[in-house]
Amino acid sequence: MKKFTLIRHAKSSWSDASLKDFDRPLNGRGIRDAPRMAAKMLELLGQVDLIVSSPANRAISTAMVFAKTFGINSDDIHLKESLYHAYPEEVMKVLHELDNKYSSVFIFGHNPTFTTIADTFSQEYINNVPTCGASVIASTAEEWAAINESNAKLVDFIYPKML
C-alpha cells in the first residue's frame, strides 16, 4: 500500500510588496501552525519515508518544520521545480515517478492544485485546502506509477483550525 499526503504550505506573508511570489516567507500564523500540524501528522502517521517540496520559500519552510518533527534531515528534502505553479497532472507525474522503495510520502505545494487533487480522491467536496492543510490519500497500488482514482482515496483531511 502507498500513502501520500499533500500539504499546502503554511500561511505566508504579504507584508513586503517588493518580494516575488516565489520568495514570500511564512508569516506569524504560518510559523505557529506548521509545528502544530507536523506534530499532529506525526501522531497520526508515525512515520514518513520521503519529503518532496516545491522550492518556493513558503513551501520549503513548511517542509523543513515537518522534516524536523519527523527526524528527517532538511538536506534530504527533494525539491521539485515542477511543483511551483503546478497543475494536478504535474503533481501526479511527480508522484508517479517516485521510487517504489518509499511507502509514505509528503508533498508540499500550493493551491488551487492541492484542493483539486484532494477533491479527486475524496467522496465529499472539500472546496478549499486551507494553508498548512493536509490531505492524506491511501492507495492499494503497489507502485506509485499505478496510483489513480480507482485504487486510492482520501482517508484523512486535517487543517490547523481543527487543532
**Tell me, what's the pLDDT at 137?**
98
Neighbours of 79 (CB within 10 A): 16
Angle at 97 between CA 141 and CA 5, to 5 degrees: 60
Q: What is the pLDDT of residue 29?
A: 98
Which stretches of the chain score pLDDT less than 70? none
Query: What value does the mean pLDDT of the chain take?
Result: 97
Per the document, the length of the chain is 163
Question: Quick one: cell of 13?
Answer: 506573508
pLDDT in tens, 77-99: 999 999 999 999 999 999 999 99
Give 23's Cβ-side CA count (13 Å radius). Answer: 6
Q: What was the pLDDT predicted at 111?
A: 97
Please tell me the predicted confidence (pLDDT) of residue 56.
98
Between CA 116 and CA 124, with CA 119 as vertex, the angle to 5 degrees is 155
Q: For residues 34 and 89, give the distance between their C-alpha atoms in angstroms, rounded to a whole number.
A: 26
State the pLDDT at residue 106.
98
Q: What is the pLDDT of residues 20-29, one digit of tens each?
A: 999 999 999 9
All three cell numbers of 7, joined, read 500539504
Q: Could you give the 3-state DSSP secondary structure of residue 122?
A: coil
The β-bridge partners of 152 are 139
pLDDT at 79: 98
- Which domains occur in the chain, in start order? 2-162 (3.40.50.1240)
* Beta strand spans in 1-85 (E): 2-8, 50-53, 78-79
